[in-house]
Structure 1
Amino acid sequence: MSHEEAWDARYAESQRIWSGNPNVALVSEITDLPTGTALDLGCGEGADAVWLATRGWQVTAVDISGVALARAAEHAAAAGVTIDFQRHDVQESFPEGEWDLVSAQFLHFWEEFDREKILRRAAAAVAPGGTLLIEGHMDHGPFGHGDHAEIHFPAPEEVIAALELGDGWQVLTSATHPREQNDQDGNTVTRVDATVKLRRSLP
């Protein structure tokens, strides 16, 4: 099964996988930024992309799953916003252009894939003066144990080092933080996430 087929199957398991709300880190880290162009990598069912678009961002939203993108388009239509949805396996292809904000929220996969390569490509897509926001898990939380327990969740400093940015970037946030989440039985649990926020310098 290809990665595309795996994600389509995952989304086809139920009518909605995610909450429909924007990610907490996106809201807290981006609210004060001036609006511009934004790229949402791994947009899923579109909550982040729609939240950005309703606040005036011009959004390009990318996902590997056609099932997810169809739901995201329905979400955008219901919210009355226009978003450029594109289907990409970002290991193989990437949208063309530069953006004032590139957001990669929980870009994880239960099979092997080159997350560092994707994030370096994401950094290259940030326009001068723009922001790169990367949010990741630090643990499995209430999900994904068993066969996938060997997955490594990098700390913020590991994420920054793997980007191989060199000069011309400012680290704005490099931190871990707790976040409450409901498990499959509806119980509230606390897990730890990692936030990396970087600004690309103007020439």
Structure 2
Amino acid sequence: MTDHTHAAHPSTTESGGSAADAAFWDARYAEKTQIWSGQPNAVLVQEVSDLDPGTALDLGCGEGADAVWLARRGWRVTAVDISQVALDRAAGHAADAGVADRIEFLRCDLGETFPDGQFDLVCAQFLHSPTDMPREEILRSAAAAVAPGGDLLIAGHAKFPEGAHEDHHDMHLPTPQEVLESLGLPDGEWEVLLSDEHERVHTWNDGTSVTRTDNALRVRRR
């Protein structure tokens, strides 16, 4: 996606928020006019393309590529991030794509509060942070937000490649099985549809490429 400045954006609501964490991520996004590729995450495309559109919750939406992709496919999306800088940028991309009316952008510190309601799809794509973020607690809240028959899709890094942001160096990166166990899902109420580790080639904005090792977990509420 290209970068633009917009005078008006879709509705953005502030809910809770740690000032220190928000400041960290605002500064991180302010380093460049574009941090991520602007393309939807490959695991999302792979796992969701065949689903009938419904309501979706995108946790840690960043610059909005996943939310825009979902909205283009007919989903109604609630897109959440702690950074207002990221949300403003994402809202601009949604407006450019003509899907601003299908996405609600919500600023919230997921460690303190969580969006209300249940959703047909809840996504947490690379929800990692060098700040003090209670990831396991957030993902349990994500599972609770999945409607009956709906899916929870979690993608994460299995290890960080050379050249990754320096603040990530001491972060624990769980396996899919560790993520599944940490969710504490009741027996018999969920079905595991995907649990794997895979490699992919990632191209940085400067054109250089690295091989990343990522993992993914997809579970469906019966």
Same fold (TM over 0.5): yes
* Aligned mates of 2:130, 2:152 — CA distance in 1: 24
Q: Which has the higher contact order (CA 8 A, sep 6+)?
A: 2
Q: Is the 8 A contact 2:158 2:175 kept in 1?
A: yes
**Which residue among 108, 113, 135 is the counterpart of 1:93?**
113
Partners of 2:132 and 2:113 in 1: CA distance: 17
What residue in structure 1 maps to residue 216 of structure 2? 195
User: Partner amino acid for 2:200?
Assistant: R
TM-score of the superposed pair, with normalisation by structure 1: 0.95
* Structure 1: 4+ residue segments shifted above 6 A: none
Q: Deviations over 1:118-161 (max 9, x none)?
A: 00000000000000000000011133465642211100000000
- Show the 5 A alignment for 1:75-90: 75-81=93-99, 82=101, 83-90=103-110
**Identity over aligned pairs, percent:** 59
1:137 matched to which residue of 2?
157
1:42-53 paired onto structure 2 within 5 Å: 42-53=60-71
Deviations 1:86-141 (A, max 9, x none): 10000011111100000000000013321000000000000000000000000111
Question: 1:142 touches 1:183 (CA, 8 Å); kept in 2?
Answer: no
Alignment coverage as a number of residue pairs? 201
Structure 2 residue 80 is matched with structure 1 residue 62: yes
In the alignment, which residue of structure 2 is the partner of 1:33?
A: 51
Deviations 1:53-93 (A, max 9, x none): 00000111000000000011100111111211110000011
- For structure 2, which runs of at least 5 residues remain unmatched after alignment? 1-18
Query: TM-score when scaled to structure 2?
Result: 0.87
Cα distance in 1 for residues equivalent to 2:168 and 2:63: 23
